[in-house]
């Protein structure tokens, strides 16, 4: 596996992102605290706690993108499974997949890119404005599958252009996903560069390495976080 997975129960040994991890842990702890409180107050039936996780350096290499006229990207997508919180090579048991700037869901039809995996399930998603904490409920009417009109999770970044050429995850874009099993997850992408540097440099920092926070709702059909 080419990325390290961390959640609030484990302390990572990855010294590179140690301070970042601590920051994330605080944020994560806050979510968990918030989520568990409301669970206690509102709902007598014991539900499984939502999982707040951080993924660091999910490598999503892309080939091609030649400098000539019509670049064609190729290469295998890196697939991700929310339930286990890991990448997977399974042809069917994945929720979303990454390659370069592209993020696809396991549902719908291909937009025609080379080497896209076959979508075997009915995962869907949408992008909304907010912070990871402020998105507390899924608006199921917005959920869409990928189609020939584009990827539903495509518009997550801003290209800075000259002179920095940086790819920055657009602040306030929260990706909401209905997984292949019908559970819900919300995620915020934090960085496109290896080790999520605070001051990335598009010329020296390696990409694409996704770092993101997400919250997974393991209870079937529950649309709140």
Partner 1 sequence: MSKKHIFTLLSLFFTFLVSSQEENPTTKDSVKIENLEEIIVTATRTFRQLSSLPLPAQIISQKDIQRSNSVRLNNILNEQTGLITIPDFGGSKGIQMQGLDGAYTLILVDGVPLVGRLAGTLDISRITVGNIKQIEVVRGASSSLYGSEALGGVINIITETPKNGFHGNLNYRISSFNTHDLGTTLSYKKDKLGISTFFNRYSSDGYSLTDRNELSTVDPFRNYTINPKLTYKFSNRTDLIVAGKYYNQKQDYVASSLLKGETKIEDWNTHIKLNNKYSDTWSSYFEFYATQYNANEYLDDANSTSATDAFYKQLLVRPEIRATYNPNDKSSFIAGTGFNNETLDRTDFSEKPVYNSPYAYLQYDGNPTENINIILGARFDGHSEYKSQFSPKVALRYGVNDKLALKGSIGYGFKAPDFRQLYFNFTNATIGYTLLGYNAAPDAIKALDEQGQLAIISISLDQFDSELKPENSVSIDLGFDYKISTTLKLDLNLFRNNIDDLIDNKIVATKTNGQSVFSYFNINKVYTQGSEFNITWRPDNQLKITGGYQLLYAKDKDAEKAFKNGEVFARVDASSPSFQLKKDDYFGLFNRSRHMANLKVFYNIPEWNMDTNIRGTYRSKYGLNDKNGNSYLDSYDDFVDGYAIVNVAVNKTIYKNYRLGLGIDNIFDFTDPQNIGNIPGRILYAKLNIQL
Binding site for partner 1 (CB under 8 A): 20, 23, 27, 67-73, 111-113, 129-132, 134, 148-150, 157-158, 160, 162, 164, 166, 168-173, 188, 190-191, 193, 196-200, 211, 213
For partner 1, the closer CB: 84 or 134: 134
CA distance 18 to 37: 28
Task: State in angstroms the smallest separation of the CB of 1 from partner 1.
Answer: 21
Token pair for residue 168? Answer: 């920055």
Q: Residue 99 and residue 83: Cα distance in Å, rounded?
A: 20
Smallest distance from partner 1 to CB 74, Å: 12
**Nearest approach, Cβ of 56 to partner 1 (angstroms)?**
10
Residue with smaller CB distance to partner 1, 84 or 164: 164
Closer by beta carbon to partner 1, 163 or else 221: 163
213 vs 217, beta carbon nearer partner 1: 213
CB 3 within 8 A of CB 54: no
State both tokens at 225. 């976080």
* CA–CA dist 51, 53 (Å, integer): 6
DSSP for 41-64, please give it: HH--S--PPPEEEEEEEEE---EE
Asked if 82 contacts 95 with a C-beta cutoff of 8 angstroms, the reply is yes
Kindly state the smallest distance separating residue 45's Cβ from partner 1, in Å: 31
Task: Using the minimum distance from each CB to partner 1, give the nearer residue, 72 or 109.
Answer: 72
Q: Residue 120 and residue 109: Cα distance in Å, rounded?
A: 9
């Amino acid at each position: 596996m080419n990325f390290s997975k961390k959640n609030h129960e484990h302390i990572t040994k990855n010294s590179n992102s140690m301070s970042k991890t601590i920051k994330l842990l605080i944020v994560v702890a806050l979510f968990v605290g918030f989520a568990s409180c409301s669970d206690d107050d509102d709902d007598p039936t014991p539900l499984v706690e939502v999982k707040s996780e951080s993924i660091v350096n999910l490598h999503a290499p892309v080939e091609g993108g030649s400098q000539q006229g019509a670049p064609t990207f190729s290469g295998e997508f890196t697939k991700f499974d929310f339930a286990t919180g890991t990448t997977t090579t399974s042809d069917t048991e994945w929720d979303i997949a990454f390659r370069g700037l592209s993020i696809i869901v396991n549902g719908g039809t291909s937009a025609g890119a080379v080497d896209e995996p076959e979508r075997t399930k009915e995962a869907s998603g949408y992008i909304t404005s907010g912070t990871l904490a402020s998105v507390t409920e899924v608006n199921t009417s917005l959920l869409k599958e990928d189609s020939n009109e584009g990827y539903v999770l495509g518009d997550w970044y801003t290209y800075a252009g000259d002179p920095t050429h940086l790819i920055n995850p657009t602040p306030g874009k929260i990706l909401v996903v209905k997984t292949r099993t019908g559970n819900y997850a919300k995620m915020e992408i934090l960085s496109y560069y290896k080790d999520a540097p605070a001051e990335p440099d598009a010329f020296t920092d390696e990409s694409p390495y996704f770092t993101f926070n997400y919250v997974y709702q393991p209870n079937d059909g529950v649309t709140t976080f």
